[in-house]
Amino acid sequence: MKYDYEALLKRARAQLPETASKRERLEIPRLHYSVVGMRTTIHNFKEIAEVLNRDPQHILKFLTGELATAATIQESRIIFQGKFPRETLEKLLQRYMETFVVCPICKRPDTKIVKEKRLSFLVCEACGAKSSVKHL
What digits encode the pLDDT tens for the residues 21-71? 444 567 788 889 899 999 999 999 999 999 888 899 999 999 999 999 999
Q: Enumerate the domain spans of the chain.
A: 30-101, 102-136
Model confidence at 20, in pLDDT bands (50, 70, 90)? Answer: very low
Taking the C-alpha atoms of residue 106 and residue 31, their distance in angstroms, rounded to an integer, is 27
CATH architecture designation of domain 30-101 = 2-Layer Sandwich (3.30)
Nearest to 109 by CA among 23, 29, 44, 12: 23
Three-state DSSP class for residue 15: helix
Taking the C-alpha atoms of residue 56 and residue 70, their distance in angstroms, rounded to an integer, is 15
Q: Which residue has the higher pLDDT, 106 or 89?
A: 89
Is pLDDT at 119 greater than 60 in this prediction?
A: yes
Residue 76 to residues 27, 47, 72, 110, Cα–Cα distance (Å): 19, 8, 11, 24
Residue type, 90: E
Q: Computed over its alpha carbons, how large is the radius of gyration of the chain?
A: 19
Model confidence at 75, in pLDDT bands (50, 70, 90)? Answer: confident
Taking the C-alpha atoms of residue 64 and residue 50, their distance in angstroms, rounded to an integer, is 19
Q: What is the pTM for the complete model shown? A: 0.76
Residue 81 to residues 38, 72, 88, 96, 114, Cα–Cα distance (Å): 6, 9, 14, 20, 30
Alpha helical stretches, state H, the chain: 5-15, 18-21, 45-52, 56-67, 86-100
